[in-house]
Structure 1
Amino acid sequence: MKSFNICLLLSFISVSSLFAQETDTIPIDTIPIETKGLEIKLKRSPLPVRVGTLTFKPIRIAPVVVDEKVNYWKTATQIGIDVNQGAFSKNWRAGGVNSLAVGGMLNYKTAYSKESYSFTSEVRLEYGKVKNKDQLQKKTRDRIFWDNKGGLQLSKSWYFFGSVTFESQFDRGYFYYRDPKQNNEEKADLISKFMAPGYLTESIGFEYKPVPYFSTRIGTGTAKQTFMLDTAVINLARNPGNFGLRPPKDGRPAQTFRNELAFQVTSTFGEKQIFTNVFLYARYNMFIPYDRPLAHVDHRLDVTLKSKINKFMNVTINGVGLFDKDSDPEVQASQNLSLGFGFTFPR
């Protein structure tokens, strides 16, 4: 038994020496690294290495879906409100009259553009009234304008277009005068109202649009309808032209509808900043009837100049020049200057 233990001990020492001799070593050269570099050498282990097969199981990853849609529509809405008020005491020696003026406007524009197709709809609504002491209420502005245009792009700057435009007013319009037979009291005669008259214009042709904010339509085929839905506004003494409609005569009723074919040119300068915080909008329309002399060509120019004081306050001046022999043989003009609040969506 003693000899067996001695033999077992000797065997253990032999095996330990064998493993000690086969231990991996890392020789490091003492030569400076800057000149020779660091060399590392590993001795292969004599122990058997078991080689196995690695099995990879694919993992399905759900694709990430981005729920985004392309919006081909662009919209813009402008709302403006202005108030003007003045008051004087009875002993105000500089003179003056108490007054209150209120006005508002709403401009809405939506545009669709995809590939070579486009559509634009623009609505411009304006209304304002003024009341001076001891005088009748009077309108300062009153307009309904709705323009719709579809286009097909032919080249970089030219389009084929078709448009429909509606124009009228909200409130009744009066001719004001003083009656000397009634102590010079102020009187008013009705001369217009909603859809008396009203205008509907259809046009097809070509449009030149070199930049996004300016365009000119050349309507080679244009039709214009004039409506007079209430003949009570017919007043030949105050409006001899009767908006181009035939008045009642020789037992014939008044004409309430008229259709004209014409050549039309419309140029629009969109609301664009021309100076710091100063924006300009202008629209010119020329209407040339095919069945009448050139003396009956109609012209209308609308100009709006707006200056932003701050984020919500604007100073706006509007001007309209109109030459239409069916309404008056002379050039008609109107102008309005206002200070008020303005909001634009989206901002």
Structure 2
Amino acid sequence: MKRTLLALLALLLSSTALLAQTTTEADTLWRRSFATGLNLNQSAFSDNWKAGGISSVALNAHLDARADYELGAVSWDNAVQLQYGLIKNKGEDQRKSIDRIYLDTKYGYAFTSDWNAFVSANFLSQFAKGYEYDIDADGTDRLISNFLAPGFLTFALGAEYKPNPHFSLRLSPFAPRFTFLVDEEVGENERYGVPEGKKVRTEWLAAMVQASYDRDIMTNLNFRANYMSYINYKELSGKQIDHMLNAVLTAKVNRYINVSLMGNFVYDYDQDADIQYNQSLALGILYTVQGFSVR
């Protein structure tokens, strides 16, 4: 896990250096934004602290980047969201606190001022192994996820409503999805809808709805949310519809220091019959680069 976090930090630094170079180039049709942060949470208690508590340290890294191209009616939007964190409680082994990879690309053609026809692809997975901890009396941990176990690759064709730069709604009546389960050890414990004996599940006849919102709701306070709903035409009952929501509220203390509240909510009946969620509140360092240049 340490190696994974170090690799992600190296990616953040190298991406920052690259973007700092590209955003100074003139005469482009690209609009770029890049934000990367490192959050640290720490608490300590003496052995005789009567109010109770446990010493802990947590480290989270995240990266959010966009590169959008527009020329007349043609647009090409690209987004990357990476999140990874570790937590160490006194008396316990180091564990993950958050782990997410999300990549999205969309090619669109505007047929009105607010509507685009588009084709898109997005990928969702995680960096490292995930465990269900202490499932037995002897403290045994069970491997339940890994990179590409599961992994979701979704293609979509449809129309997008984008009335302003802050909000967009994509409606895709045709959205085939491929669910990967490449780790055989994970497959022994969780299948994520992939049939026994196979490593890929293909859903050709399906629809997808996506919505995104990104805006400064107050001075130095930004709210960003991304929602995705996936509907398999063969499984149209309400409990079979997948829902995913990622939301981040960021308050800038100054140019580099910020307080952020992050949350991920997932409902996927193939994974679990109940809603899954994770949440983190952190004070950390945020580095942002934005470049807007038009030929």
TM range (shorter): 0.7 to 0.9
RMSD: 1.6
Contact map agreement 1:204 1:219 (CA 8 A) in 2: yes
* 1:34-49 equivalent positions in 2, closer than 5 A: none
Q: 2:155 aligns with which of 186, 202, 213?
A: 202
Q: Tell me which residue corresponds to 2:120.
A: 163
Question: Which of the numbers 7, 20, 30 marks the counterpart of 1:73?
Answer: 30
* Distance (Å, rounded) in 1 between the aligned partners of 2:101 and 2:167: 22
What is the CA-CA distance between 1:94 and the residue it aligns to?
Answer: 2.7
Whole-Å Cα distance in 1 between the matches of residues 200 and 70 of structure 2?
36
**Separation (CA, whole Å) in 1 of partners of 2:253 and 2:130:** 33
* Partner Cα separation in structure 2 for residue 332 and residue 69 of structure 1: 45
Q: Structure 1's 151 and 198: CA in aligned 2 closer, same or farther, altered over 3 A?
A: same
Instruction: Specify the SS of the correspondent of 1:79.
Output: strand
Q: Does 1:105 align with 2:62?
A: yes
User: 1:124-273, aligned counterparts within 5 Å?
Assistant: 124-177=81-134, 179-180=136-137, 182=138, 186-236=139-189, 239=190, 242-247=191-196, 254-260=197-203, 261-270=205-214, 272-273=215-216
- Aligned AA (1:107): D
Q: How does 1:83-122 map to 2 (within 5 A)?
A: 83-122=40-79
Instruction: Output the CA distance in 1 between the equivalents of 2:68 and 2:211.
Output: 18
**Which runs of no fewer than 5 residues in structure 2 stay unpaired?**
1-24
- Larger relative contact order (CA 8 Å, sep ≥ 6): 2
What is the CA–CA distance in structure 2 between the aligned matches of 1:94 and 1:321, rounded to whole Å? Answer: 32
**Residue 318 of structure 1: aligned partner:** 262
- TM-score normalized with structure 2 length: 0.86
CA–CA distance in 2 between the matches of 1:328 and 1:285? Answer: 17
Supply the AA of the counterpart residue of 2:192.
Answer: F
Q: Secondary structure at the match of 2:185?
A: helix
Rounded Cα–Cα distance in structure 2 between residues aligned with 1:96 and 1:243: 36
**Percent of counterpart pairs with the same letter?**
37
Q: 2:223 aligns with which of 265, 280, 286?
A: 280
* Cross-structure match for 1:17: none
**Contact 1:151 1:160 (C-alpha < 8 Å) held by counterparts:** yes
Greater share of strand: 2
Q: For residue 119 of structure 1, what is the amino acid of its counterpart?
A: W
Deviating beyond 6 angstroms after TM superposition, the runs of 4 or more aligned structure 1 residues are none
CA contact (8 A) 1:111 1:121 kept: yes
Q: Report the structure number with the largest CA radius of gyration.
A: 1
TM-score if structure 1 supplies the norm length?
Answer: 0.73
Counterpart position of 1:57:
none
- Kindly tell me the number of residue pairs found equivalent between the two proteins: 265
The equivalences for 1:28-67 within 5 A come to: none
Q: Does 1:305 align with 2:249?
A: yes
| Kept in 2: contact 1:288–1:294 (CA 8 A) | no
- Secondary structure of the corresponding residue to residue 346 of structure 1: strand
1:178 Cα deviation after fit: 5.5
For the residues of structure 2 that align with 1:274 and 1:69, how far apart are their CA atoms?
Answer: 30
- Please state how far the C-alpha of 1:211 moved relative to its aligned partner: 0.6
Q: Distance in 1 between matches of 2:48 and 2:171?
A: 60
Query: 1:76, 1:345 within 8 Å by CA — same for their partners in 2?
Result: yes
Query: How far is 1:205 from its partner?
Result: 0.6
